[in-house]
């Protein structure tokens, strides 16, 4: 329990530091929320100043930070100047979409990646191992924005199998039944999820293969084999389970990069998620929204990291027996 | 890529302008209502309250939701009321001294919630826009309007401070009529945060059915009141932030219109028989602006404070090749700080020619001599400068690269500084640039040039970022704006354009055409240079050309009922 409380405290400190740094850095960046329309004759400097004052952006960074902390204490993340709504509402609209996209992608990618890694390890050096290795190497090397565009063109333009973008059909009747809505949502998910899975599955498979090969050469595996335990059982119970630890840890660490990687995928597929929200907030210098997005992202990373540590410990009990401390993570 | 001088394209432009179908059927022959227009757009409105909207995408939607008293004509004339057509006002009466105009409102006009539109709403709209707490960008444009009084429930009398040629344009074009009964209690300091900014109630041909941020904005034809309804049932703005995605929606048939087709995508559009390429002029131009003042010292810029250097670089610029390389034939060479579609345009104006030999001679005469590396120096100082460009604009980045090469040929060393739009605007605001590749979207009014090039706009934070000052230019612009006779107005502006061209505070590069991909089943009309969407309420789809999404869905049919009934 003590370790958990300590871990939560550490997480809180990380979140506070990241939020503070973001708050300061975004304000030090050139531009401001109301300067973006300079090439508009109607926006005079006086008007821009007045708008800054109306949204509390005219004070010093220290004053703004104090106001923001006071608002945060009341559960108010501030007002988004680019979407004209409270930051919490903008995030509440985007977060479920990102969780759906990333959650679906992670589940599929992990299942597929772990399976592919296991197949590779089982047939080490064989044709299947080399083929999968080559494919995953390509998957590792492909830039996300390029892959997203290719998937869009292939799936929506050339083959016309899937919608171009968005989370739902633009003209779906307002009172459509839930099976129709579900099917529609699934159709819109296919291309962005497939893109994310291709990007994710490669490192997972490679890591799983390496970890499994490492475990298969371990003493306890050789001992189990020598004792006459079936090869399949040795593989699954003694090697594979412990080899999952690094993959799970990677999942926890990869969460922030998933948010980051989702920016391009959400943009290309017009997916209204957190990545797109954050990117557009940065472009519009929407200070409160940027900080709000970073805050939510950091919280998710901290939670993801904690979960990964504990799942790893559950998968491989030696980690706790050997003095593993959740607060320090895996060696 | 097809060359747009091809007659096919020109004929499409003409068809779009005159409101005929591609097969020549007059638009007036189509009368049945119905159909859906899906507009694929990368941008979403900032809000939908006219006094505080700054985005073009917001203006597009507002023009369909709200009404003005009258609409500007296709010629974009702003002198008097010539060419203006009735909108919310059915007629108007000038006072003998021209210091007031009485507008008679359409008695059938209703807000989308069923409440009648009254003269008090017009009076309220002006009060709201000019309220300093609102900080509306439109307030400045209505500075000549003293007040509005309601003579009776249907007569709004607009009182002006001065008699001016464009006073009618100012009041009818800049002021949208807003519902007093819904905005009276709104917090004027933060109107953007009011719920009505997201779901406004207007009196225009369409009303907002739903707005799902970052996804879509759906408008449905309003059937409240007895006035003529829009031809289409609904207009859907489908938001896709990536231009490739937004364009793909149109070519795959998911959307009907994309308004910013890039030159390299023109062939793609023409390969799809269901799409038409529609070209219209715009009020936009791009330019290379020189910074005439050194911001550190406040003295003339070491390079561009010298008129000879500016003129030399202007004559070293082959604008024709830049336009061809960047836009193919989808733009024309800009002649000055105006576009051909404006009433102030002087199409006979000849800017400084492309003359590299003269440019070299001018630089020699100014003391900038070539060295062994073929770059020019004067008193040991290299003829080198930065060129600030927003890296997000493909066209401007391409133009910058071409300019860099053309300037190198006359011995100038140019450093391209690509920054994101926020950084670009920030540096221009702070005047921290040598040159910058800018773009300007003009208003239809003649006074718009003041905001960009006159001395008044050269002050800190003004839009005349290069700080060009010419009392002669200012005087001609002022005289042109104040001229009642169109010939006098044009003469003054022609003189102003000559002065600024001689001073060369900028190199005006291109007037891009608006290149739209539109589904061929639409009969379009009323595309103005300042607003292609102005006639959307009159667009129609012949019944035999309709597709599945043109059929009214049950939920959609319910939404067509008056707003008060469906909410």
Q: How confident is the model at residue A269 (pLDDT cuts 50, 70, 90)?
A: very high
pLDDT at A319: 64
> Which of A45, A270, A284 comes nearest B245 by C-beta?
A270
Q: Which fold has domain A91-319?
A: MetI-like fold (1.10.3720)
B422 with A36: Cβ contact below 8 A: yes
Q: Determine the Cα–Cα distance for residues B379 and B541; give it in Å rounded to an integer.
A: 69
For the CA atoms of B19, B20, B21, B25, the dihedral, rounded to the nearest 10 degrees, stands at 150
* Lowest-pLDDT range of A38-42, A291-295, B399-403, B407-411: A38-42
Q: What is the DSSP string of B70-119?
A: EE--TT---STTTT-EESSEEEEEE-TTSSEEEEEEPTT-B-TTSPBP-H
- One domain, residues B292 and B266: no
Instruction: For chain A, positions 149-188, list CB contacts with chain B under 8 A.
Output: 149, 152-153, 156-157, 160, 163-168, 170-171, 173-175
pLDDT in tens, B201-255: 999 999 999 999 899 999 999 987 667 789 999 999 999 999 999 999 999 999 9
Gyration radius of chain B's alpha carbons: 25
- One domain, residues B318 and B256: no
Residue partners of A160: CB distance under 8 A and separation at least 6: B252
Q: Closest Cα of chain A to B273: distance in Å? A: 15
Chain region(s) in chain A for CATH 1.10.3720.10: 91-319
A94 with B192: Cβ contact below 8 A: no
A84 with B239: Cβ contact below 8 A: no
- One domain, residues B157 and B46: no
pLDDT at A40: 59
Q: Determine the Cα–Cα distance for residues B484 and B506; give it in Å rounded to an integer.
A: 29
> Which of B135, B443, B553 comes nearest A50 by C-beta?
B135
- One domain, residues B473 and B360: yes
Q: Closest Cα of chain A to B442: distance in Å? A: 8
Residue partners of A183: CB distance under 8 A and separation at least 6: none
Burial class (CB in 10 A: 0-12, 13-18, 19+), A247: buried
Judge whether B194 lies within some domain: no
Closest among A262, A293, A298, A299 to A82, alpha carbons compared: A293
Q: Closest Cα of chain A to B189: distance in Å? A: 6
Q: Which of B183, B216, B250 is the last residue of a domain?
A: B183
* Lowest-pLDDT range of A10-24, A127-141, A311-325: A311-325
- One domain, residues B315 and B447: yes
pLDDT at A57: 84
> Which of B198, B215, B427 comes nearest A30 by C-beta?
B427
pLDDT at B10: 42
pLDDT at B4: 43
pLDDT at A329: 40
Which residues of chain B, if any, have pLDDT below 70? Answer: 1-31, 225-226, 553-567
CB-side exposure of B509: number of CA atoms within 13 Å? 27
- One domain, residues B266 and B294: no
Tokens of B336: 């000055």
pLDDT at A243: 82
Look at strands B70-71 and B36-41 and give their pairing.
unpaired
> Which of A29, A35, A157 comes nearest B251 by C-beta?
A157
- One domain, residues B142 and B158: yes
pLDDT in tens, A75-125: 899 999 888 889 999 999 999 999 899 889 989 999 999 999 989 988 888
What's the CATH code of the domain at B43? Answer: 3.40.190.10
Q: Closest Cα of chain A to B326: distance in Å? A: 21
What's the CATH code of the domain at B163? Answer: 3.90.76.10
Candidates B59, B141, B192: best to mutate against A (most CBs of A within 10 A) is B192
pLDDT in tens, B429-467: 888 999 999 998 888 888 888 888 999 888 877 789 999
Judge whether B190 lies within some domain: no
CA A41 to chain centre: 41
Q: Determine the Cα–Cα distance for residues B320 and B354; give it in Å rounded to an integer.
A: 9
What is the total count of domains within chain B?
A: 3
> Which of A79, A152, A163 comes nearest B254 by C-beta?
A163
- One domain, residues B501 and B540: no
Q: For residue B528, what is the enclosing H or E element?
A: none
B556 with A272: Cβ contact below 8 A: no
B252 with A165: Cβ contact below 8 A: no
Look at strands B234-239 and B36-41 and give their pairing.
parallel
Q: Closest Cα of chain B to A266: distance in Å? A: 9
What's the CATH code of the domain at B426? Answer: 3.10.105.10
- One domain, residues B174 and B224: no
Could you give the C-alpha distances from B148 to B119, B143, B474, in angstroms and in order?
A: 9, 13, 31
Candidates B248, B289, B433, B551: best to mutate against A (most CBs of A within 10 A) is B248
* Single pTM value for the model: 0.85
- One domain, residues B466 and B542: no
pLDDT at B98: 94
A32 in reach of chain B (CB within 8 A) = yes
Which residues in chain A are closer than 8 Å to B47, comparing Cβ atoms? 84
- One domain, residues B17 and B77: no
> Which of A156, A168, A270 comes nearest B239 by C-beta?
A270
Return left, alpha or beta for A186; rule: phi > 0 is left, psi -120 to 50 is alpha, else beta: alpha
- One domain, residues B347 and B358: yes
pLDDT at A94: 92
Range of the domain at B550: 4-65+204-281+514-559
């Amino acid at each position: 329990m003590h370790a958990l409380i300590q871990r939560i405290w550490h997480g809180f400190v990380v979140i506070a530091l990241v939020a503070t740094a973001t708050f300061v850095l975004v304000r030090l960046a050139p531009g401001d929320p109301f300067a973006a329309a300079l090439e508009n004759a109607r926006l005079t400097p006086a008007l821009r100043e007045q708008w800054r004052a109306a949204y509390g952006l005219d004070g010093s960074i220290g004053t703004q930070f104090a106001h923001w902390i006071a608002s945060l204490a009341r559960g108010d993340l501030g007002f988004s100047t680019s979407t004209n709504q409270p930051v919490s509402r903008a995030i509440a609209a985007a977060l479920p979409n990102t969780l759906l996209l990333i959650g679906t992608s992670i589940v599929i990618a992990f299942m597929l990646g772990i399976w592919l890694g296991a197949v590779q390890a089982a047939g080490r050096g064989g044709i299947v191992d080399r083929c999968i290795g080559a494919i995953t190497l390509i998957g590792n090397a492909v830039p996300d924005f390029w892959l997203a565009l290719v998937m869009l063109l292939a799936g929506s333009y050339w083959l016309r199998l899937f919608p171009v973008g968005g989370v739902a059909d633009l003209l779906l009747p307002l009172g459509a039944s839930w099976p129709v809505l579900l099917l529609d949502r699934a159709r819109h998910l296919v291309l962005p999820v497939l893109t994310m899975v291709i990007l994710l599955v490669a490192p997972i498979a490679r890591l799983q293969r390496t970890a499994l090969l490492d475990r298969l050469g371990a003493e306890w595996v050789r001992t189990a084999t020598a004792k006459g335990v079936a090869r399949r059982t040795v593989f699954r119970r003694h090697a594979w389970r412990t080899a999952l630890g690094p993959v799970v840890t990677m999942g926890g660490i990869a969460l922030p990069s998933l948010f980051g990687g989702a920016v391009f995928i959400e943009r290309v597929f017009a997916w209204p998620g957190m990545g797109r929200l954050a990117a557009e907030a940065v472009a519009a210098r929407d200070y409160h929204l940027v900080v709000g997005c970073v805050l939510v992202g950091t919280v998710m990373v901290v939670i993801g990291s904690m979960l990964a540590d504990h799942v790893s410990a559950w998968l491989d009990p030696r980690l706790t027996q050997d003095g593993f401390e959740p607060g320090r993570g895996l060696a | 890529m097809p060359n747009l001088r091809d007659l096919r394209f020109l004929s499409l432009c003409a068809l779009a302008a005159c409101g005929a179908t591609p097969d020549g059927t007059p638009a007036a022959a189509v009368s049945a209502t119905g159909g859906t227009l899906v507009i694929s757009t990368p941008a979403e409105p900032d809000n939908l309250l006219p006094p505080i909207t700054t985005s073009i995408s917001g203006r597009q939607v507002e023009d369909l939701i709200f009404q003005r008293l009258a609409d500007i004509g296709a010629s974009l004339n702003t002198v008097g009321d010539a060419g203006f057509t009735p909108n919310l006002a059915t007629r108007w009466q000038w006072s003998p001294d021209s210091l007031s105009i009485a507008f008679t409102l359409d008695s059938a006009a209703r807000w989308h919630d069923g409440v009648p539109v009254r003269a008090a709403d017009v009076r309220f709209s002006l009060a709201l826009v000019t309220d300093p707490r609102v900080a509306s960008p439109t307030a400045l444009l209505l500075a000549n309007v003293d007040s509005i009084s309601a003579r009776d429930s249907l007569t709004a009398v607009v009182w002006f401070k001065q008699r001016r040629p464009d006073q009618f344009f100012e009041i009818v074009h800049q002021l949208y009529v807003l519902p007093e009964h819904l905005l009276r209690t709104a917090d004027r300091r933060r109107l953007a945060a009011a719920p009505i900014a997201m779901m406004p109630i207007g009196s225009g041909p369409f009303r907002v059915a739903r707005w799902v941020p970052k996804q879509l904005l759906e408008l449905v034809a309003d059937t409240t009141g007895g006035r003529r309804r829009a031809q289409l049932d609904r207009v859907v703005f489908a938001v896709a932030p990536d231009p490739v995605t937004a364009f793909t929606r149109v070519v795959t048939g998911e959307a009907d219109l994309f308004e910013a087709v890039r030159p390299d995508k023109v062939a793609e559009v023409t390969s799809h028989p269901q799409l038409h390429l529609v070209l219209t002029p715009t009020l936009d131009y791009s330019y290379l602006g020189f910074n005439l003042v050194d911001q550190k010292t406040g003295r003339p810029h070491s390079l561009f404070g010298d008129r000879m250097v500016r003129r030399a670089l202007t004559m070293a610029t082959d604008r024709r090749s830049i336009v061809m390389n960047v836009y193919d034939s989808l733009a024309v060479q800009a002649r000055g700080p105006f576009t051909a579609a404006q009433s102030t345009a002087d199409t006979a104006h000849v800017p400084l020619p492309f003359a590299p030999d003269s440019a070299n001679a001018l630089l020699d005469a100014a003391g900038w001599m070539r060295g062994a590396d073929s770059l020019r120096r004067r008193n040991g100082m290299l003829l080198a400068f930065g060129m600030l460009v927003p890296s997000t604009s493909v066209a401007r980045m391409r133009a910058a690269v071409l300019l860099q090469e053309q300037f190198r040929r006359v011995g100038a060393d140019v450093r391209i500084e690509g920054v994101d739009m926020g950084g670009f605007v920030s540096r221009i605001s702070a005047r921290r640039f040598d040159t910058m590749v800018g773009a300007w979207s003009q208003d239809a009014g003649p006074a718009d040039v003041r905001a960009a090039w006159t001395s008044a706009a050269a002050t800190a934070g003004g839009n005349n970022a290069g700080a060009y000052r010419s009392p002669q230019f200012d005087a001609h612009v002022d005289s042109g704006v104040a001229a009642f006779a169109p010939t006098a107005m044009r003469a003054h502006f022609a003189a102003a354009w000559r002065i600024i061209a001689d001073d060369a505070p900028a190199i005006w590069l291109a007037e891009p055409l608006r290149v739209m991909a539109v589904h061929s089943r639409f009969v379009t009309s009323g595309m103005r240079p300042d607003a292609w969407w102005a006639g959307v309420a009159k667009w129609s789809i012949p019944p035999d050309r309709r597709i599945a999404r043109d059929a009214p869905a049950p939920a959609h049919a319910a939404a067509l009922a008056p707003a008060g009934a469906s909410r």
